[in-house]
Amino acid sequence: MPTRHKNLGAAQWMANGSAIEVVDLTLPENNVYAENVFGPAAQRARLPKGVYRKLQATIERGEELDPSIADAVASAMKDWALAKGATHYTHWFQPLTGSTAEKHDSFFGPTGDGMSIAEFSGKELIQAEPDASSFPTGGIRATFEARGYTAWDPTSPAFILENPNGATLCIPTAFMSWTGEALDNKIPLLRSMEALSTAALKALDLFGDHDAQRVFTTVGAEQEYFLIDEQYYYERPDLINTGRTLYGAKPPKGHELDDHYFGSIPERVLACMMEVERELARLGVPIKTRHNEVAPAQYEVAPIFEKSSVGADHQHLIMQTLQRVARNYGLVALLHEKPFAGVNGSGKHNNWSMSTETGHNLLDPGDTPYENLQFLFFAAAVIRAVDKHQGLLRATVANAGQDHRLGANEAPPAIISIYLGSEIERVFQAIAKGKVHKSTPKSFLGLGTPVLPHMPLHAGDRNRTSPFAFTGNKFEFRALGANQELGMPNTVLNTIVAESIDAMAGDLKKKLAKRGAKLETAVVDVVGDVYREHGRVVFDGDGYSEAWHEEAERRGLLNLRTTPDALPQFISPSTVQVFSKYKVLDKRELQARYDVYVEQYITKVNIEAETAANMGRTLIVPAALRQVTMCDEAGIDSLTDEVRGLTEELVSRLKVLEAANANHPHGTPIKHAQYMRDKVLPAMVSAREVADDLELIVADDLWPLPKYQEMLFVK
Ligand code: ADP
Ligand code: MG
């Protein structure tokens, strides 16, 4: 069938999604929000008062769970789930694969008389024992036992996962080895939230705030993704196997018109987005924003921020729901960081802040000098943390897909720096210099002390090139890849900021102990010290420019260009020190993660290389040979020579690729990863170059793969 006809098929769609119907959303009974979540409303309705209160104490204030309530919670949760049509339950967890895992068990057990009854005990709620040997453990399992167990995380509400043929109760859990090491991304995240809360409360105490009982870190992530027609997806082995196109000539230049960004959303895509949002609403995931992104066929979805642990769970649901619902519209959601070479990739912006249990955001500059002072302190702690642990932050966003994106003039550079906005930067500079400078903003008032600032309300400008930007009342870590889970990056942020707050609170306490000490002066002194030492990480210029690379080097900032360069930061002495001190991950648990990430890098590149070689040999070379025959038959030697030459070149480059990928070195895993980067990836690029040239001259009806312009522009 000629390609054009296929495109016509791809462009046609029917409103076959399950959400398309006219619903009067002003009626309360039509409000679907959180209807599939065993959250506070369902808990209050179904739990005995005392049990409900104890559960809330754990959820709201992080108090230790009283195990005696487990049976009551389990029973209420089961009845609620059965009423929703659930027949099975699962401990839903987050192994180091970067996605989620589930093993379903039926509620129903035989009673011996040919009948069955639904049972679910507190014990089954609290703990299960999946075999840990099938999940990456980075060696933890090998030396100990295969057994792992999952433990209920009561801070994240259980939810119902629906399928056309039934429903399953999903219980968010933590996953650990029998010997207690964290094998997942949830445990360290919870531990890091605890560490940050302790440190921040200590600081707030010095500020005279004795009311706060808990400080939560918050996260809201903007998710970029592509939607393409599923017909093209299933015609491309590279998309199926690796999530990205390993071949493909760029579409005609100028085709990537600027009007796509924030442009009107194609009808099929909008219908899909609406169903995604409705499904997420039912799961209690508060989606707020949707729009077109910069690249053709690229979009974004963003939720309202939540506590980090819940936000991280919800991020998984967002990614999974996008992929699941897209299929109802004949679409496939691509979450790869760089599905199309030469076209903008997809990232994820991790908006991060800290707030007390009553909702006081510690990174809100506020209107009063007192609030300003607190803001300066906590913002300085972030600056200190990001500077001290810049390598680790870079490592948490490192993976094979990211290497095609970071630093490629479309995404933040591999150098970690902070953008504060010029007003706030000048305030910090003035404090560091110990005086109000002529150039400090007008709003910079003294009150009681000449250096006490009145902060501007807005951070001022934006800087799209910065990997870590202050955006008014939160920091935005903009270097995450679209496919990433939020657990690890936020664990890192929480832990390193906890350390900084703790250290700065120690300094502040000493200064306050001096006779006649004033809070204002002491805070300004501490902040000044921090900024003098760590202000080098603050940069408000163009992060894409060559000049910044040189400047960053002069400042002594790290520039870890690729994943193999960055990953060793997970086991650097400064990482081990801070993670052990705050009991987030011990040396062994860090080493395990490092091993797993290095292994994942090698595996990914290997799969890409095998897929590229195979597609070259079995799809592209045969198409080129047909073209040679056709030119030959036509008797036009110049054409025959051209195609023949390119075909021979492609075959020889494919052989180089096959050889490179057949002979992996023995040695340490990191050496192996470097080999994949230095020998295998370049061989893939080199084969692709010739294949893409062939794509431009081989007859359209002979070319075996959907082209960029079809995938990106047929909607
Ligand atoms: P911007 O356009 O500046 O990025 P938005 O208000 O659109 O800001 O927010 C973008 C994302 O930041 C949203 O997902 C939002 O929930 C999140 N966000 C806002 N405030 C906070 C906060 N205090 N902590 C964490 N995330 C936040
Ligand atoms: Mg943003």
223 Cα to the center of ligand 1, angstroms: 12
Write the residue with the smallest CA distance to atom 11 of ligand 1.
220
Instruction: Give the integer Cα–Cα distance in Å for 521 and 512.
Output: 9
Tokens of 10: 């791809």
End-to-end Cα separation, the chain, in angstroms: 20
Among the atoms of ligand 1, which is closest to the Cα of residue 462? 3
- pLDDT band per the 50, 70, 90 thresholds, residue 19: low
- What residue has token string 């004795």? 210
- pLDDT band per the 50, 70, 90 thresholds, residue 179: confident
Q: Mention every residue, 6+ apart, whose C-beta is less than 8 A from residue 180.
A: none
Could you read off the pLDDT of 691-700 as tens digits, one per residue?
Answer: 999 999 999 9
At 160 the pLDDT is 97
Percent of the chain scoring above 90 in pLDDT: 73
Instruction: Give the integer Cα–Cα distance in Å for 82 and 88.
Output: 9
Are 173 and 150 in contact by the 8 Å Cβ rule? The answer is yes
DSSP state string for 226-290 = EEEEHHHHHT-HHHHHHSS-SS-PPPPTT-S-GGGTT-PPPHHHHHHHHHHHHHHHHTT--EEEE
* pLDDT over 70 at 713, yes or no: yes
470 Cα to the center of ligand 1, angstroms: 11
Mean pLDDT of 13-38: 77
For a substitution probing ligand 1, which of 196, 291, 305, 468 has the most ligand atoms within 8 Å of its CB? 305
Instruction: Give the integer Cα–Cα distance in Å for 650 and 689.
Output: 9
* Ligand number with the minimum distance to the CA of 470: 1
Q: Give the containing element (helix H, strand E) for 299.
A: strand 298-303
Scored b (16 or more CB within 10 A) or e, 399-411 reads bbbbbbbbbbebb
Could you read off the pLDDT of 418-427 as tens digits, one per residue?
Answer: 999 888 898 8
At 448 the pLDDT is 37
Are 670 and 567 in contact by the 8 Å Cβ rule? The answer is yes
At 62 the pLDDT is 75
Mean pLDDT of 489-518: 97
At 262 the pLDDT is 67
Are 169 and 125 in contact by the 8 Å Cβ rule? The answer is no
- pLDDT band per the 50, 70, 90 thresholds, residue 446: very low
The interaxial angle of helices 573-581 and 587-615, nearest 10 deg, is: 130
Percent of the chain scoring above 70 in pLDDT: 92
222 Cα to the center of ligand 2, angstroms: 7
Write the residue with the smallest CA distance to atom 4 of ligand 1.
471
The interaxial angle of helices 369-388 and 487-513, nearest 10 deg, is: 120
- With H, G, I as helix, E, B as strand and everything else as coil, classify residue 349: strand
Mean pLDDT of 505-530: 95
Could you read off the pLDDT of 231-281 as tens digits, one per residue?
Answer: 999 999 999 999 999 999 987 765 555 556 667 888 999 999 999 999 999
The interaxial angle of helices 487-513 and 308-326, nearest 10 deg, is: 160
Q: Give the containing element (helix H, strand E) for 116.
A: strand 116-118
Instruction: Give the integer Cα–Cα distance in Å for 346 and 654.
Output: 29
Mean pLDDT of the chain: 90
In terms of C-beta distances under 8 Å and separation of at least 24 residues, what long-range contacts does 98-106 make, across chains too? 98/483, 98/484, 98/485, 98/600, 99/316, 99/319, 99/485, 100/316, 100/320, 101/130, 101/135, 101/175, 102/168, 102/170, 103/128, 103/130, 104/168
Q: Which of 45-59, 129-143, 149-163, 685-699 has the lowest mean pLDDT?
A: 129-143
Could you read off the pLDDT of 323-366 as tens digits, one per residue?
Answer: 999 999 999 999 999 999 999 999 999 999 999 998 999 999 88
Are 383 and 374 in contact by the 8 Å Cβ rule? The answer is no
- pLDDT band per the 50, 70, 90 thresholds, residue 20: low
According to DSSP, residue 155 is labeled: T
DSSP state string for 20-49 = -S---TTSGGG--TTTTEE-HHHHHHHS-H
Scored b (16 or more CB within 10 A) or e, 201-239 reads bbbbebbeeeebebbbbbbbbbbbbbbbbebbbebbbbb
At 450 the pLDDT is 45
Mean pLDDT of 444-471: 62
- With H, G, I as helix, E, B as strand and everything else as coil, classify residue 144: coil
* pLDDT over 50 at 438, yes or no: no
Higher-pLDDT residue of 461, 658? 658
Write the residue with the smallest CA distance to atom 1 of ligand 1.
471
Question: Which alpha helices (DSSP H) does 572-680 contain, by range?
Answer: 573-581, 587-615, 621-634, 637-662, 669-675
List Cα–Cα distances, 7 to 12, 248, 334, 711, in angstroms.
9, 17, 19, 9
**Cα–Cα nearest to 476, from 261, 301, 286, 218:** 218
Instruction: Give the integer Cα–Cα distance in Å for 684 and 664.
Output: 15
Q: Which of 219-223, 254-258, 470-474, 667-671 has the lowest mean pLDDT?
A: 254-258
Could you read off the pLDDT of 394-419 as tens digits, one per residue?
Answer: 999 999 999 999 977 788 889 999 99
List Cα–Cα distances, 669 to 392, 554, 660, 674, in angstroms.
19, 32, 17, 9
Are 170 and 159 in contact by the 8 Å Cβ rule? The answer is yes
* pLDDT over 60 at 527, yes or no: yes
354 Cα to the center of ligand 1, angstroms: 12
Are 355 and 338 in contact by the 8 Å Cβ rule? The answer is no
* pLDDT over 50 at 158, yes or no: yes
Amino acid letter at 557? L
Which residues partner with 538 through β-bridges? 418
Instruction: Give the integer Cα–Cα distance in Å for 308 and 189.
Output: 8
Strands 418-419 and 468-470 come out as parallel
- pLDDT band per the 50, 70, 90 thresholds, residue 3: low
Which residues partner with 289 through β-bridges? 302
For a substitution probing ligand 1, which of 307, 474, 493 has the most ligand atoms within 8 Å of its CB? 474
Could you read off the pLDDT of 204-214 as tens digits, one per residue?
Answer: 999 999 999 99
Could you read off the pLDDT of 114-149 as tens digits, one per residue?
Answer: 888 888 999 999 888 877 677 787 777 554 456 788
At 177 the pLDDT is 85
Residues with a beta carbon under 5 angstroms from ion ligand 2:
349
Mean pLDDT of 534-550: 94
In this structure, the residues whose C-beta lies within 6 A of any atom of ligand 1 are 218-220, 222, 302-305, 351-353, 361, 471, 473-474
At 365 the pLDDT is 86
Tokens of 37: 């979540």
Among the atoms of ligand 1, which is closest to the Cα of residue 352? 25
Write the residue with the smallest CA distance to atom 22 of ligand 1.
353
